Amino acid sequence: MDFLRPASWEEALAAKAEHPTAVPIAGGTDVMVEINFDHRRPEYLLDLNRITDLTEWEVGEETVRLGASVPYTSIMEHLRAELPGLALASHTVASPQIRNRGGVGGNLGTASPAGDAHPALLAAGAEVEVESVRGSRLIPIDEFYTGVKRNALAADELIKSVHIKKADGPQQYSKVGTRNAMVIAVCAFGLALHPETRTVRTGIGSAAPTPVRAKAAEEFLNAALEEGGFWDNGKIITPSVAKQFAELCSGACNPIDDVRGTASYRRHAVGVMARRTLTWTWESYRGARRITEGAA
């Protein structure tokens, strides 16, 4: 095994081009587990810790450019206002020790269907900035996950950052597990309201081969909210609407039975989380609306 320690992003891209089998390591919270357990013996480890650009973020007009190695701890502490869904998701990652090392770039690189960041990224709307010596490109998050632990990266590409839409409305995140800390999601759900476009977006984790959006549920809810004038009148979501939304979210799942839970439990739990997060976000939207419009 060779340990490559590029000092700059350009050096890292050159190393990855020269050794496409090199495994990038940043926080190490996935890669080192595989090495410790002898599940993986990469020819080359490509250490990204010396590249400080990767641990920086930039809050722009419409998006946050989040460096691939920004640790979850920093997202929780510094980006709660801009990226509330991702900040909540970050807080559910493992433990403080893991959150101090791991970041969204690694979550995307591993592309496990159980990765905690995915539902939040899908719900908020994001693009993954990847680069190789050939050039850089932005991959829409909906096209990024291609299979179980597979993603749209080419062999010579590295993940540089994620461009995530700044929240324009309430966002929520919910995760099922046996305890609060140190849990791989049995299933997870992210929901973002986008009042500016009068749309909602969802993200489902650990309940299909890849993280997915519940698109039929989104379309149903978009239409129901529009039809009932909910965005303007700020009324309570009708229970039948919430129920239908939850059922459609369950329907978007394609889960398996495994040690963490059964397929039918996952489908059921995703529906429950969909209904709850819809209630939480909508109540918060109504609250904000009352304040901005000065109504009682």
Partner 1 sequence: MRVNFTVNGRRQEADDVWEGESLLYVLRERLGLPGSKNACEQGECGSCTVRLDGVPVCSCLVAAGQAEGREVVTVEGLADFAKQRSEGGCASGACGTSLQDAQQWAAKGQDSQTGEGGELSPIQQAFIDAGAVQCGFCTPGLLVAADEMLERTPNPSDADIREALSGNLCRCTGYEKIMDAVRLAAARQGEAV
Applying CB under 8 A, the residues found at the interface with partner 1 are 1-3, 5, 25, 27-29, 31-33, 35-37, 41-42, 45, 47, 49, 94-98, 100-101, 180-182
29 vs 107 by CB, closer to partner 1: 29
Least CB distance to partner 1 at residue 175 (A): 15
CB nearer to partner 1: give 32 or 272.
Answer: 32
Q: Which is nearer to partner 1, 28 or 228 (CB)?
A: 28
Decide whether 2 or 58 has the Cβ nearer to partner 1: 2
Give me the least distance between CB of 179 and partner 1, in Å please.
9
Alpha-helical (H) ranges within the chain are 9-18, 31-36, 72-78, 84-91, 96-99, 104-110, 117-124, 141-144, 215-227, 230-233, 239-251, 263-293
| Nearest distance in Å: CB 217, partner 1 | 33
* Measured distance CA(101)–CA(120) in Å, rounded: 19
The least distance separating partner 1 from the CB of residue 64, rounded to whole angstroms, comes to 22
**Residue whose entry in the numeric block shows the structure tokens 């998006």:** 63
Dist CA 68 CA 53 (whole Å): 9
Start-to-end Cα distance in the chain: 67
Instruction: Compare residues 77 and 143 and give the one whose CB is closer to partner 1.
Output: 77
> Cβ contacts of residue 227 below 8 Å, gap of 6+?
none
Give the nearest distance from C-beta 43 to partner 1 in angstroms.
Answer: 10
Q: Which two tokens stand for residue 119?
A: 């539902």
